[in-house]
Structure formats: structure tokens, C-alpha cells
Amino acid sequence: MSTECVIYRCGRQDEMYLYLRADLAPETLPEALRRLTGKLTEAMRLSLSPERRLARVDVAQVLEKLVAQGYYIQMPPDGLLKANLHFGD
């Protein structure tokens, strides 16, 4: 079984990505999460299954979050997180 998702680049932080279940729209995300991500730009669409490998994250964790809450946030690699990510734009 596979889960279709859309992957977005997050405008507020380099190398941060939002995986969103394909049947959901970004507007359905909680307001606090939308503030954290900033402008979302579609990067790609994927069909995820337990057999698929992803470069920086465990596909099982992504699938679990997509089923439970509809989205997964891929944080930037160590050392690239902006210290002031929680502040307004």
C-alpha cells in the first residue's frame, strides 16, 4: 500500500520540507504550523511506501505522521537551522 504526498519547500527555513498527504490542502494545516513554515512552494509529488527509501528521513516515520496527522516536517540537517525560526517574518 502506498500513500500519495506532495512535498513543499518551506519559505522560512532553508532545507526544511513539509510532506503533505495529497488529499489535503496547505490551507488545512494548523495556523501555528503555517506561520512556522512560511510560504510553501511545491517541490515534488511522491508515492510513498515502506519499501521506498528517502535521502534524509525514515520513510516509516513519514508514513506514520501522514496517516496520523496528514503532514510531516523534515527539519534541516544539523547546523543549518535558523536560531530565530520562531519569530515573525
DSSP letter at 27 equals G
Which pLDDT band holds residue 52 (cuts at 50, 70, 90)? very high
Q: How far apart are CA 37 and CA 76, in angstroms?
A: 12
Has this prediction a pTM greater than 0.75? yes
Q: Which domains are delineated in the chain?
A: 3-74 (3.10.510.20)
Query: How does pLDDT run across 4-21, given as a tens digit for each residue?
Result: 999 999 998 888 999 999
Instruction: Report residue 50: phi and psi, to 5°.
Output: -60, -25
Q: How far apart are CA 63 and CA 86, in angstroms?
A: 26
Q: How far apart are CA 76 and CA 88, in angstroms?
A: 19
Query: How does pLDDT run across 55-86, given as a tens digit for each residue?
Result: 889 999 999 999 999 999 998 887 555 555 55
